[in-house]
Amino acid sequence: MIQARNIHYSIKGKKLLKGVSLEAQTGELLAIVGANGAGKSTLLKVLSKEILPEKGEINIRQRSLDYWSRESLAKFRAVLAQQNALAFNFKVYDLVLMGRYPHFKGNPNKQDQEIVQYCLEKTGITHLAERIFITLSGGEQQRVYLAKVMAQLLDYEAIWDENHISKTPKYLLLDEPITGLDLFHQHNLLQIAKELTQKGFCVIAILHDLNLALQYADQVLLLKQGEVLGYGKPVEVLNPHNVLEAFNISVNLIHQSDMACPFIVHCHEPILTPKPAICQPQHFL
């Protein structure tokens, strides 16, 4: 379980996170949603120990995040950041193999290589293995990042046994993982994330597409200006009232009998923008 309690974070006097708490279990996909600038990436950076909160507590595997060194965290926690800065002249295969670095000393063994092969296959990039990373399209690059973080965390047994559940919990933190992906690959990525939850992973993903959050998340954390506006089951959190409050847009939740979850559509109601004061004729009198 990853637990965050009462997290506060400020930068240059601006409060970016104000008392955020969450609890994500293994076997669960938690989606973090909210408008641009709501604090989602900041929260993910705090959870991944990239930045330190000024107040609050984070526990992972029943121990404070402070307890874990970066090296030990790298064995069971991987992060797909929004802006990656990988060494771009590497071949795709070598970049994905870098995901295994926390696990081997010196040279990768056969198991590391098989894990890499498996992750290339799962993300549909085996045919790109010998390509130089910078020559790939944006969506292809995004799948390489996914393959790399998968390779970092997967147990060898998991590639042979689809029912394998990791004995030690794994944590995958994804910041807007579907950026640049086409519709097929958006669903493919989230299906992989779901499968990983069934292998003993806890996945926390920032998503902008609320319909994908409804479809794939077990829980949703809705942020507004650094505060939690809603936290719980997707259909409960992503109700029209909360969506209006968080995104300033009117929506309806459409339920269809042949669909497992409702979907959100924009409806053309007036939105709650602060209206400019309209001068009434008497003001001119």
Ligand X SMILES: Nc1ncnc2c1ncn2[C@@H]1O[C@H](COP(=O)(O)OP(=O)(O)OP(=O)(O)O)[C@@H](O)[C@H]1O
Compute how many residues bind ligand X; rule: CB under 6 A: 12
Q: What is the distance, to the nearest Å, from the Cα of residue 103 to the centroid of all Cα atoms in its chain?
A: 23
CA proximity to 262, closest of 228, 213, 195: 213
Binding region for ligand X (CB under 6 A) out of 34-42, 49-57, 116-124, 178-186: 34-42
Q: Which stretch binds ligand X (CB under 6 A): 11-19, 141-149, 156-164, 269-277?
A: 11-19
> Is the CB of 40 or the CB of 199 nearer to ligand X?
40
- Quote the CA–CA distance of 262 and 215 in Å, as a whole number: 8
43 in the Ramachandran plot: left (φ > 0), alpha (ψ -120 to 50) or beta?
alpha
Closer residue to ligand X (CB): 18 or 91: 18
C-alpha to C-alpha distance for 239 and 242, rounded to whole angstroms: 6
The reply on whether position 83 binds ligand X by CB under 6 A is no
Q: Is 177 in the site for ligand X (CB under 6 A)?
A: no
Opening angle at CA 8, ends 5 and 14, nearest 5: 165
Given candidates 20, 22, 24, 34, which one binds ligand X under the rule CB under 6 A? Answer: 34
Question: Please, are residues 125 and 140 in contact by the beta-carbon 8 Å criterion?
Answer: yes
Using the contact rule CB under 6 A, the part of the chain among 39-47, 130-138, 238-246, 277-285 near ligand X is 39-47
* Nearest alpha-carbon partner for 199 in 100, 79, 112, 76: 76
By CB under 6 A, is residue 16 in contact with ligand X? Answer: yes
CB of 154 to ligand X, least distance (A): 27
Choice from 26, 39, 173, 230 touching ligand X (CB under 6 A)? 39
Side chain identity at residue 100, one-letter code = R
CB of 245 to ligand X, least distance (A): 15
Q: Is the dihedral of CA 179, 180, 185, 187 positive or negative?
A: positive
Shortest Cβ 128–ligand X spacing (Å): 27
40 binds ligand X (CB under 6 A): yes
Task: Choose the stretch contacting ligand X; rule: CB under 6 A; options: 35-43, 68-76, 86-94, 157-165.
Answer: 35-43
Q: Are strands 219-224 and 227-232 parallel, antiparallel or unpaired?
A: antiparallel
Tally the C-alpha atoms within 13 A of residue 97's C-alpha that lie toward its C-beta: 18
Stretch that binds ligand X, among 12-20, 149-157, 254-262, 271-279 (CB under 6 A): 12-20
Asked if 52 touches ligand X (CB under 6 A), the answer is no
Distance CA 203, CA 225 (A): 23
Footprint on this chain of ligand X (rule: CB under 6 A): 11-12, 14, 16, 34, 36-42
